[in-house]
Amino acid sequence: MAKGDTIDRIAPTLRPNGQPVMYQRWRTLLFLHWEFPAEVVAPLVPPGLTLDTYEDRVLVGLVPFTMKGVRPAGLPAFSPLSNFHETNVRTYVHREGQEPGVWFFSLDAANRIAVKLARAWFKLPYHFARMRLEYEGAWISYSSERLWPTPVPARCAVRCSPKGEAAVSKPGTLQHFLVERYYLYTLHGGSLWRGQVHHTPYPVRGVEVQGLDESLLAAAGLTRPQVPPLVHFSEGVDVDVFGLTRL
């Protein structure tokens, strides 16, 4: 367990009261993370939130994956709108020592209608991008090129090969800190909002990564360290999405 960590990281994993507003299936997730100086990342996070650290380490993630079966509660999935690829750039935050969650610098998605709805309903910084996910034997290739809105250029290309058996993350480990995140925060109209998702724990595997070429971090105002990232892979989880709460 991270030394001196007093934040409750189990409570957010419990299913909240109320009914979901949306259902999604997140699949083929590649988690890439780099350590950054706190003074570089902190100015990019809004007032009311504090950087969440693991043993004083500030981590920024780049996560390409694909979405399946996205649908509002009470409606069936519709393939042209419900299945698309996505890539997000994020860091980790908490609110006064509670509710550890995610702050998104950007979310790029390959569905223009979903982008418009997510920007309007969930107040998240979504961007429309041209994206592909391809299988080449044991290798999976992701590619993304942002089209709108700015900042552009913002691209990502990477390939990976999952390794080993899948297992859930042990609480207190760095892996659990990075992947088991159930709260998200966004800023809209001068107010801070919190959203929540619920799913079973991620089945996580090791992964070999090659050919990373990206400018998404630079578009978010971050200079990527010239060191290999921390890497994890998951086949995915089924997700219940709950509505936003104004804080």
Q: Where are the domains of the chain?
A: 11-246
pLDDT of residue 78: 74
pLDDT greater than 50 at residue 1:
no
Cis preceding-peptide flag for 149 (omega within 30 of 0): yes
pLDDT of residue 97: 94
* CB-CB contact of 151 with 171 (8 Å): no
Please give the single-letter amino acid code of residue 105.
F
CATH code reported for the domain at 11-246: 2.40.400.10
Output the pTM of the full model: 0.95
SS3 readout for 71-115: EECCCCCCHHHHCEEEEEEEEEEEECCEEEEEEEEEEEECCHHHH
* CB-CB contact of 109 with 133 (8 Å): no
- The residues, any chain, with a CB within 8 Å of residue 109's CB and separated by 6 or more, are 67, 84, 85, 86, 115, 118, 126, 127, 128, 129, 131
pLDDT band, very low/low/confident/very high, at 139 (cuts 50, 70, 90): very high
pLDDT greater than 80 at residue 4:
no
Cis preceding-peptide flag for 151 (omega within 30 of 0): yes
pLDDT of residue 3: 61
End-to-end CA distance of the chain: 29
For 29-66, write each residue's pLDDT tens digit: 999 999 999 999 999 999 999 999 999 999 999 999 99
pLDDT greater than 80 at residue 90:
yes
pLDDT of residue 2: 61
